Structure 1
Amino acid sequence: MPEITGGQAVHDALVKLGVAHVFGIPSVHNLPTFDAILNGGKITPIITRHEQAAVHAADGYARASGRLGVALCSTGPGTTNTMTGLYEAAFASSPVLVLTGQTESTDYGKGRAAGHEHENQFAMLQSVARTGGSPKYTKDLAPTVFRVAADILNGRPQPGAIEMPIDIQYGKTDVPVGHPIPVFPVAPDSSTISQAASLISEAARRVIVAGGGVISGDSSGELQELAEKLNAPVFMSGNGRGAISDDHELSMGTVLNRPRTREALQDTDLIIAVGTRLRGRLNAWQNLPGKLIHIDIDPQNHNLVHNADVNVIADAKQSLRALLDAMNAEPGDSDYLSGVRAAYEEQKQQTHERIGADMEAIMGCLRDSMDRDMVFVRDMTMPAYAWGNDWFPILAPHTTMNPNSGAIGPGLPLGNGAAVASGKKTVVIHGDGGVMVHIGELSTAAQHQLPIILIVFTDGGYGVLRGIQGQQFEGRNIGVDLATPNFAMVARGMGVSGEQVKGVEEFREAFDRAMQATGPYVIDIDLRTLAPMRGFGKRIEFEQPE
């Protein structure tokens, strides 16, 4: 085999893994790999403005596509910038690979103050990544990429990271690149499936809880088939939304842990939880009604919150298919289903009343204008809390995402990555405080003409925190009222179309123009011109350039 550089070896390994896009920033410590990407012509580099944003974008790409998301960053400060992105990807069970540079092998770990040196860089990466590698020789770069990628994709997806000393990227090897390590699904144990099938047959009032493992396990079809055969209501976690379409009659959204739902489910015989850690959903239940079948590929997720009667430690798709083949159950109690549905509709109506007619109209405008398979991204902002995360209808898998870790700011880069993955209009909602964290990524969207629509709900700062402070500290506020730019002007300064609007009708017209436009588009809407949402604190007066 002819000799190739280490950068070429990394490129060739990524190509064999099916990687089509890489997000990142060129640096003196990753130039050989970027050059190999340029010369190879099979991977498109998406150049971001910050390494954290590169990892968020790779994460958004992974969530929207179900494929490996890759970020290529620099050593030292560049790598420290990736940490929040890795942290978020871990929370979201997202298959993200971060490739970073490192100082020369002869300087590494010796404290010589070499350029961008970070002696404990790999240990830092390991603190948030499940798997990683720090190869010493050029010949080991491709095998390390294959090994780490396999670990990322094996079982419950989790991020991984590899640091690559600059000299081995420039170095040459005649060792063949090799091939990816196959990752096979974990098949369920037949006796466990039989036990689960028996419990299902014995029950009449059944509930299904779908988590993100249903989405990443490509098992939405099997889950819907199970629900329809059992006539069972389906509740979803935030990451599980889209496991069954919200316009399906058995979809009950994300309201499982709310008091009205618990009241409706008090006579439940059986809960079938699939691909979920059960944190934050069944967490509210001190004692579960009925029995529990828990299907999840990660052994650490079993008996985490509640002890199950049957634990199926296996791939969701294969487990659901095996259950469908093994069980001989009658459809569930229709009166029970009607009661659960009534509780869901009651809470839905209460939410629509709480958010007010204007926000309800905006939510309807977005859903009516977007195709079923367009991605909807929310940052940590009032409209997301009030309706975006739980009540905006999600109609297909891989079409919803928000920061799982609670971080403020990832929305825009997540949306950029999702838009690259889908190639379709991607809608991102942000608050005016959070959007400033990664406002530079508008430039990324402009450079690559990404089809995102960024909607900024402007209220002069951090409205949620303003409300909490007002309630807890006798009306006093600190650090929550911010200087607020005109985001349409900011967008235009970056070569992005944008407009500032007031009220629902202006928003409708602007969103229609955004949907018809090519490339990115920004809509800055003044929250003061909309009917207030109940429970989100006082409004303030603020100045915004026009």
Structure 2
Amino acid sequence: MREMTGGEAVYEALRALGVEHVFGIVSVHNIPIYDAIHRLGGITPVAVRHEQGAVHAADGYARATGKLGVAIASTGPGTTNAMTGLYEAQFASSRVLLITGQVESLYYGKGKGFLHEAEAQLPMLRTVTRRAESVRRTEEIAETIIAVARDIQTGRPAPGAVEIPIDLQYGRAEVDIPHIEGWPRVRPGRDALARAADILRSARRVLIWAGGGVLASGAEGELQTLAESLGAPVVTSANGRGAIPEDHPLALGPLSAHPALQELFDTADVILAVGTRFQAGATRNWSLRWPGRLIHIDADPGVIGRNYTADVAVVGDARLALAALVRDLAGVRVEPAFAARAAELKEAARAQIRREIGPDYAAIMDAIREVTPRDALIVRDATVPAYLWGNRLLPILAPRTSIYPTSAAIGPAMPLAIGAAIGAGRPAVVIQGDGGFMLNIGELATAAQYRVPVVVCVFNDHGYGVLRTIEARTFEGRQFGVDLATPDFVQVARGMGVPAEAVDSPAAFRAALERGLASDGPYLLDIDMSKLTPMGGLGSPPPKRTPDIAD
């Protein structure tokens, strides 16, 4: 044990957890923590422009690295600002830790109207985290942080939070920093694995469904080995993209909901689902059905059977379970014609989607994949180009390179990309709509300050394109609240010190993207969607251009 301040105890706990970056905003209710980080070194603080952006950045960092993402906020308004980021991290099963302050212990719980008083902050945090704790003694700061971090990184990842009253941050005490050797994996039961192996040995047509749990456990190698050993095709959930490279001959991509692949589900003897919840979008709101047996592997027993009844439930870590199946099924091969047919159906689905998005967006998508390095990060927001081709057709070729808002929130892409690029040390390409970009546009200044290599592709239709189409279909063509007077994004970016250019064709996009990736920091492309061939589906053309704010 050593004597230290509460702020130093936070620092020492983070160092023990292997934390190298934190994202946040300094405040009177967390300043001792920032002082310790500044004085003691080894942790790089990234000053964002909004606490929502801090948690999104920590989330992107966690997804891109597999490590703990940490955000630091102030009590009260700082923490309420962080709630959307925690909501998204919870939806995405992301290992994010929020450390926030609280008013002095003398005033906490008395409702006296103290600065940034937040009496119900802890129960609020518990609505969007697996575990949230409030520290009551300086001596307990480090052990509480490490206990919460252990909890949220064991089994299925989840966000967590710790609040620390400001007097405890300034206070001094003898503090013990627990030794950490890693977190235990949930070991799958032998009997369940044996039953799963028996079913797979007798199967002729196996379809593997890989979810985000494969990546969370670092099981992409075991997944690919099992798929190749069996000769079984692999479909992924949106969160599972990158579990197998999408140019692999057995990879079907995130196309489970596409009608062209229904034949595979109809004819498969066995569905082997690993680390997935079978969310709504991947299952056509759970209308997807199959007659074959289901083997469901997940570290969280609560998700098994929630949406589909499993014939065999294997509760355990994906990496351990898949490694065991690789050993137990050595030499087992399934019907090769099934994988060949799967490849044909995948190509038919992809060809149909390409026709729907039209030649200009197909060319832009191809440019992103051809110009961007294989291991670069592809970050999408909830926007028309992402829905129609970024989330379905744009190939993901490496693990932990596909990031998008799982909750379908608009706006997180920019800070998600900042955290991911900082953590991975690789460039990120951001597919962003103009409406969503405005929600976190301040984080462009964060990217500029830290020279983060993000190329922000703003697909600009001067409004909310998805909602515009829904209104047109639902309310007899009436449009309301969906058209926006947007700023000149090129001038805004340049005003923040970010190089930027306007784009009005696929050829111009490719050239601009090459320049953006060659730059030594952030870069912005403002893509005029009115100049491109319209996409089908949700991609109806934007209305006649309304004046920009700058006009």
Q: TM-score range by the shorter chain?
A: over 0.9
Does the 8 Å contact 1:193/1:326 carry over to 2?
A: no
Q: Secondary structure at the match of 2:235?
A: strand
Q: Secondary structure at the match of 1:393?
A: coil
Q: CA deviation at 1:423?
A: 1.5
Alignment of 1:213-252 (within 5 A): 213-252=213-252
Letter in 1 for 2:153: L
User: Is 1:23 aligned to 2:28, yes or no?
Assistant: no
Distance 1:372 1:177 in 2: 40
Q: Secondary structure at the match of 1:221?
A: helix
Structure-2 change in CA distance of 1:538 and 1:499 (3 Å): closer
Q: What is the TM-score when the length of structure 1 is the normalising length?
A: 0.98
Q: Residue deviations 1:336-367, cap 9 Å, x none?
A: 22222211111100111111111111111111
Q: CA deviation at 1:261?
A: 1.1
Which residue of structure 1 lines up, in the alignment, with residue 172 of structure 2? 172
User: Is 1:204 aligned to 2:204, yes or no?
Assistant: yes
Q: CA deviation at 1:539?
A: 2.3
Distance 1:52 1:429 in 2: 19
Distance 1:406 1:238 in 2: 12
Which residue of structure 1 lines up, in the alignment, with residue 497 of structure 2? 495
Q: CA deviation at 1:182?
A: 4.3
User: What is the percentage of aligned positions where both structures have the same residue?
Assistant: 50
Which residue of structure 1 lines up, in the alignment, with residue 262 of structure 2? 262
Which residue of structure 1 lines up, in the alignment, with residue 321 of structure 2? 319
Q: Secondary structure at the match of 2:294?
A: strand
**Quick one: which of 450, 453, 462 aligns to 1:451?**
453
Which residue of structure 2 lines up, in the alignment, with residue 463 of structure 1? 465
Q: Secondary structure at the match of 1:299?
A: coil
Distance 2:300 2:323 in 1: 18
Q: Residue deviations 1:173-202, cap 9 Å, x none?
A: 123323237411111211211111100011
Which residue of structure 1 lines up, in the alignment, with residue 542 of structure 2? 539
Letter in 2 for 1:284: W
Letter in 2 for 1:25: I
Q: Residue deviations 1:82-101, cap 9 Å, x none?
A: 11100000000000000000
Distance 1:295 1:380 in 2: 29
**Quick one: which of 326, 334, 358 aligns to 1:332?**
334
Does the 8 Å contact 1:208/1:271 carry over to 2?
A: yes
Does the 8 Å contact 1:86/1:159 carry over to 2?
A: yes
Distance 1:207 1:409 in 2: 35
Does the 8 Å contact 2:535/2:541 carry over to 1?
A: no
Q: What is the TM-score when the length of structure 2 is the normalising length?
A: 0.97
Aligned length: 546
Distance 1:264 1:96 in 2: 37
Distance 1:116 1:18 in 2: 31
Letter in 2 for 1:391: L
Does the 8 Å contact 1:237/1:254 carry over to 2?
A: yes
Does the 8 Å contact 1:147/1:181 carry over to 2?
A: no
Which residue of structure 1 lines up, in the alignment, with residue 311 of structure 2? 309
Which range moves more in the overlay, 152-161 or 337-346? 337-346
Which residue of structure 2 lines up, in the alignment, with residue 193 of structure 1? 193
Distance 1:274 1:422 in 2: 25
Distance 1:210 1:291 in 2: 16
Which residue of structure 2 lines up, in the alignment, with residue 62 of structure 1? 62
Does the 8 Å contact 2:208/2:232 carry over to 1?
A: yes
Which residue of structure 1 lines up, in the alignment, with residue 527 of structure 2? 525
Q: Secondary structure at the match of 1:252?
A: strand
Does the 8 Å contact 1:200/1:329 carry over to 2?
A: no
Q: CA deviation at 1:243?
A: 0.5
Q: Which runs of 5+ in 2 are unaligned?
A: none
Q: Residue deviations 1:214-269, cap 9 Å, x none?
A: 00110001000110111111000000000000010000011112222112431210
User: Is 1:341 aligned to 2:343, yes or no?
Assistant: yes
Which range moves more in the overlay, 260-269 or 372-381? 260-269
Distance 1:163 1:16 in 2: 19
Distance 1:159 1:147 in 2: 13
Distance 1:158 1:284 in 2: 24
Letter in 2 for 1:60: G
Distance 2:2 2:472 in 1: 68
Coordinate RMSD, CA, aligned: 1.3
Does the 8 Å contact 2:142/2:175 carry over to 1?
A: no
Alignment of 1:345-364 (within 5 A): 345-364=347-366
Distance 1:107 1:487 in 2: 46
Does the 8 Å contact 1:210/1:273 carry over to 2?
A: yes
Distance 2:535 2:40 in 1: 52
Does the 8 Å contact 1:213/1:275 carry over to 2?
A: yes
Which residue of structure 1 lines up, in the alignment, with residue 432 of structure 2? 430
Alignment of 1:145-156 (within 5 A): 145-156=145-156
Does the 8 Å contact 1:217/1:315 carry over to 2?
A: yes
